[in-house]
A and B are shown apart, each in its own frame.
Chain A
Amino acid sequence: DTEVTQTPKHLVMGMTNKKSLKCEQHMGHRAMYWYKQKAKKPPELMFVYSYEKLSINESVPSRFSPECPNSSLLNLHLHALQPEDSALYLCASSLYLNGGEKLFFGSGTQLSVL
């Protein structure tokens, strides 16, 4: 299994809703990530988990709450989002290989906030 699986693929939510994005990998990778990608823009890092511990938070607003229940799962809990949070949310995992981290990206969750 060489995939990073994200669910749901599409999500529409109101500003008062609470929803969660899920990410799963079974490659035994030690690090997992959340990236955000706006249309026609490059991905931007949000969070990094290393060995199930949050190691990087790129000053992300608290309405985004990551969670890593175990080494294979990564969640992103959403609450009170704004329309400008509409974007493609990408999960990735990585392994250290030949002197660097090789990232594997999921297909993403396309989020629309109304």
Chain B
Amino acid sequence: AQSVSQHNHHVILSEAASLELGCNYSYGGTVNLFWYVQYPGQHLQLLLKYFSGDPLVKGIKGFEAEFIKSKFSFNLRKPSVQWSDTAEYFCAVNGGSGNTGKLIFGQGTTLQVKP
């Protein structure tokens, strides 16, 4: 069965610090990978996705992620965080065809950015 593991459950950073959130998945076939963000009291928003092609994916709000197939990883990065990045971040995987929209989410990482 597919699973997604996010290593950092709660991250506290100061503004302008660099961010890297870890995500590993277990699935041997072709995968689609996603990072979603959920700001307090708001709905899930897609930050970025990887379907195929360039393993370095750029998303909204200055976020990027790198798909490393050999490590089954899809870590999220941002060079300089802002207070407004305070939110819950979810990594998700959708394993290949026949799993239309069936996203498996990681447990989430709470990011707190101190002004």
Contact = CB atoms under 8 A, between A and B. Distances in A.
B67 interface: no
B43 to A, nearest CB: 4
B43 A31 contact: no
A45 B103 contact: yes
A90 B51 contact: no
For chain A, the bracket of interface size reads: 20 to 34
Interface string A45-59: 100101000011000
B107 A101 contact: no
B51 A98 contact: yes
Given A42-B90, A107-B42, A48 B103 contact: no
Interface string A36-72: 0000111111001010000110000000000000000
A98 B101 contact: no
A43 B45 CA distance: 13
A43 B42 CA distance: 14
Most B CB atoms within 10 A — which of A44, A48, A101?
Answer: A101
Contact of B108 (A41, A44, A45, A102): A41
A50 B43 contact: no
Nearest to A95: B101
A73 to B, nearest CB: 17
Most B CB atoms within 10 A — which of A42, A103, A104?
Answer: A42
A100 B108 contact: no
B94 A90 contact: no
A90 B43 contact: yes
Nearest to A91: B43
A101 B100 contact: yes
Interface in A75-104: 90, 92, 94, 97-104
Given A43-B105, A90-B43, 5 more contacts: A40-B108, A41-B107, A45-B103, A90-B44, A97-B51
